[in-house]
Chain A
Amino acid sequence: MRERLYIYMMKRILLIGIGLLFAGMARAQKNQLLLDEHNRYVYYQVVDMPGISTDSLHKNSAYFVKSIYPGNKSIKISDSAILIKDKFLTYTSFVKHESGEVTYTLNIEFRDSKYRYWLTDFSFTPYERNRYGVFVPSSQNHIPLETAASKVGKKEMASYIEQAGAFCKQLGGKLKEYMAENHTAQKKPDQQPAKIVTDKW
């Protein structure tokens, strides 16, 4: 009887393990960038924001770019769209150090109760270690991510695509947080943490 119960439990744990394995893989794959009709990598999302006006979305997204990209001089804000160019770093997986940087363009457009954003124009610059033990851009020019496979190995390429996808997803999450908040309303002063009174007991 105990043996049967043991085998039953083991089977359950095995199934859960396999489930976790596939869930993890599926989650990792969701981060992948996709190619658009011009064969350029793009991360594209449309997000519904019921009850939030175009004006609020505009103000919220302007607040988002000013908060996330302080000092960035490429920001272009119009009545219905925002465009910004920036970059992020990629890292090696075995031990952590910078492997390169990816420049990108972020576009945000909004209309009644929804907005869309997409990141594209991904361009990769490999990093190399200099004599001081610091990883810096190599002398090679930027390589469009679409053609980077001709310059770097398959494994590295897959890693850059995955990291770019993860970055886009993270940035999209942050944008959603900003879009959902009312940044135009006057902010309440930060609440002080409750103090413990020890002289009355």
Chain B
Amino acid sequence: MKKILLLLITVAGFNFAKAQDTVKTTSDAPLVIFGSVDTYYKDDFSGHANIPTSFAWDNNSVSIGMIDLGLKKTVGKASFVGELSFGPRGQYQSIPNGDGSTANAGNSYHVQNLYVSYNLTDKFNLTAGYMATFIGYEVISPTGNFNYSTSYLFTSGPFQNAGFKATYAFSDKVSLMAGIFNDNWNVYTSTHDVSTFGAQLMLAPAKGWTAYLNVATGPTSGTIFDLTTAYQITSAFKLGLNGATFTPAHGGGGYDGVALYPQLAVSKAVTLGLRGEYFEAKATTTTPKDHITSLTATANIKAGPLTFIPEIRFDNGKNQIFTDSNGAPTKSASQFVLAAVYAF
């Protein structure tokens, strides 16, 4: 009896709290909590892991990606974002450990995003800290990608840039970011100095269409030019494109690449998509140039906050860079992945 009473009072109290909950009309939003959890199973048709892009590494194994936990708060013109990740995808597969010293080498800080920002005006924002990179189409968080496996462009490009940036919005259709970042990509601490210059021009030529022209260049990090664009052409069809060219500061090499992302929503729960990619590793003084093509067919099946992602992928190299089921060199590799991503 007492338990029933307690339950009833709790439910009634919850109902009242819910009814009293009003929509916030001021600019001071509540403390925002967000994140995701992901897990996957992969079967490489060769019987062993073959395709060397980021994440979904384990073959014939039910494996974990990461739990991602983020906090964001805005009071007046000041905001912060802190995002921590735990698990292979969110630790050694995407972020550095410690500060590089022997004593701290294995100590992961788990940080994906950690920055503060201030709106000087409605159009002018200053941000400083450790931030997801502004370069590229795909991201570390599985909730930000349509495909579960990643492109060669993503794997080869920066993941994060620590630095200071200023963004000015000329209008809803044009904005410009310029900033100065640590000398290397993907580091919490600079090796020598803060010498990578980065800039991003955002254009929105039509409703549903955004394009980002990006550059990051420095005497240590090298130079990367990147175009990332997505266009929601109809309510069901979206087309994305990523193209980049990278030249290291020393030693030659680098890469060029382009990836196309057509996606079609066939119902409110199911979207089908392809990723076609061409990726070329530039020649160095010791190795000739090489290229690879990749085709990935992915479905996103939504059940509320949970998304199931079945995916099949075929990679084909110019040279024999993969191995077949007998361990012999071969030009092609293929895999099936089934992933589940819960976003909150």
- Residues of A at the B interface (CB closer than 8 Å) are 10, 13-14, 17-18, 20-21, 23-25, 27-28, 31, 68, 88-92, 94-98, 129-135, 139-141, 150-153, 155, 163, 166-167, 169-171
What's the minimum C-beta distance from A177 to chain B, rounded to whole angstroms? 14
Q: Are A17 and B344 in contact (CB under 8 A)?
A: no
Contact yes or no, B8 A21, CB < 8 A = yes
B268 interfacial contact with A, CB 8 Å: yes
Return the 10 tightest CB-CB contacts between A and B, nearest first: A24-B15, A20-B12, A17-B8, A131-B132, A167-B23, A139-B232, A95-B33, A27-B19, A21-B12, A133-B81
Which residues of A are found within 8 Å of B11, using beta-carbon distances? 21
Give bound CA distance, A139 to B24, whole Å.
24
Secondary structure of the B contact surface, majority rule: mixed
User: Which of B32, B235, B268 touches A96 (beta carbons < 8 Å)?
Assistant: B32
**In the bound complex, what is the Cα–Cα distance between A163 and B197 (angstroms)?**
44
Known A-B contacts A17-B12, A24-B19, A133-B70; A139 and B210 likewise in contact (beta carbons under 8 Å):
yes
Residue from A24, A131, A135, A141 in contact with B18 in the complex, judged by beta carbons closer than 8 Å? A24
| Complex alpha-carbon distance, A68 and B25, angstroms | 9
By a CB distance below 8 angstroms, the chain A residues around B268 are 150-153
The residues of B that contact A139 with a CB separation of less than 8 Å are 208-210, 230-232, 238
B99 contacts A by Cβ under 8 Å? no
Q: A17-B5, A25-B15, A139-B238 are in contact. Are A132 and B344 (CB under 8 A)?
A: no
Bound Cα distance A13, B7 (Å) = 12
Instruction: Point out the residue from A21, A134, A163 that lies within 8 Å of B81, measured CB to CB.
Output: A134
The answer to the question of B72 belonging to the interface, with a C-beta cut-off of 8 Å to chain A, is yes
Complex interface: stretch among B136-144, B186-194, B246-254, B321-329: B136-144
Q: Report the minimum CB–CB distance from B160 to chain A (whole Å).
A: 10
CB closest chain-B residue, reference A139: B232
Residues of B within 8 A of A141 (CB): 207-208, 232, 235
CB distance from B216 to the nearest CB of A (A): 15
Checking B13, B22, B33, B139 against A131 with a beta-carbon cut-off of 8 angstroms, the contacting residue is B139
Pairwise interchain contact A97-B33, C-beta atoms closer than 8 A: yes
Q: Shortest Cβ distance from B82 into chain A, in angstroms? A: 8
Contacts of B14 in A (CB 8 A): 24
A130: chain B residues at CB < 8 Å are: 144
Q: What are 24 A-B contacts defined by CB distance under 8 Å?
A: A14-B5, A21-B12, A21-B15, A24-B12, A27-B19, A90-B23, A92-B344, A94-B344, A95-B35, A96-B30, A96-B32, A129-B143, A133-B34, A139-B208, A139-B231, A140-B208, A140-B232, A150-B268, A151-B235, A151-B268, A152-B268, A153-B304, A167-B25, A170-B22
Quick one: which of A155, A166, A169 has the most chain B CB within 10 A?
Answer: A166
Taking CB atoms, residues of chain B closer than 8 Å to A95 are 33-35, 344
Residues of chain A with a CB closer than 8 A to B230's CB: 139
- Which B residues lie at the A interface, using CB under 8 A? 1, 4-5, 8-9, 11-16, 18-19, 21-25, 29-35, 70, 72, 81, 83, 112-113, 115, 131-133, 139, 141, 143-144, 207-210, 230-232, 235, 238, 268, 302, 304-305, 343-344
Known A96-B31, A131-B132, A141-B235; judge A24-B16 contact (CB<8 A).
yes
- A-side contacts of B232, CB under 8 Å: 139-141
A20-B9, A139-B230 given as contacts; is B22 within 8 A of A167 (CB)? yes
Q: Contact: A166 with B23, CB < 8 Å?
A: yes
Q: Note all chain A residues with C-beta closer than 8 A to B1.
A: 10
Min CB distance A38 to B, Å, is 22
B23 touches A134 (CB 8 A): no
In the bound complex, do residue A155 and residue B81 qualify as a contact, i.e. CB atoms below 8 Å apart? no
**Given A155-B304, A167-B23, A131 contacting B15 (CB threshold 8 A):** no
Please give the distance in Å from A91's CB to the nearest CB on chain B.
7
By a CB distance below 8 angstroms, the chain A residues around B21 are 166
Is A13 within 8 A of B235, CB to CB? no
Question: Is B18 a contact partner of A28 (Cβ separation < 8 A)?
Answer: yes
Known: A24-B12, A140-B235. A89 touches B18 (CB 8 A): no
A-chain residues with CB within 8 Å of residue B209 when the two chains form the complex: 139
> Please, which residue of chain B has its CB at the minimum distance from the CB of A21?
B12
Report whether A10 and B131 are in contact in the complex, using a CB–CB cutoff of 8 Å.
Answer: no
In Å, the complex CA distance between A96 and B24 comes to 12
Measured CB to CB, the nearest residue on chain B to A90 is: B23
Cβ-defined contact, B23 with A133, below 8 A: no
**A132-B15 contact given A167-B23, A170-B23, CB 8 Å threshold:** no
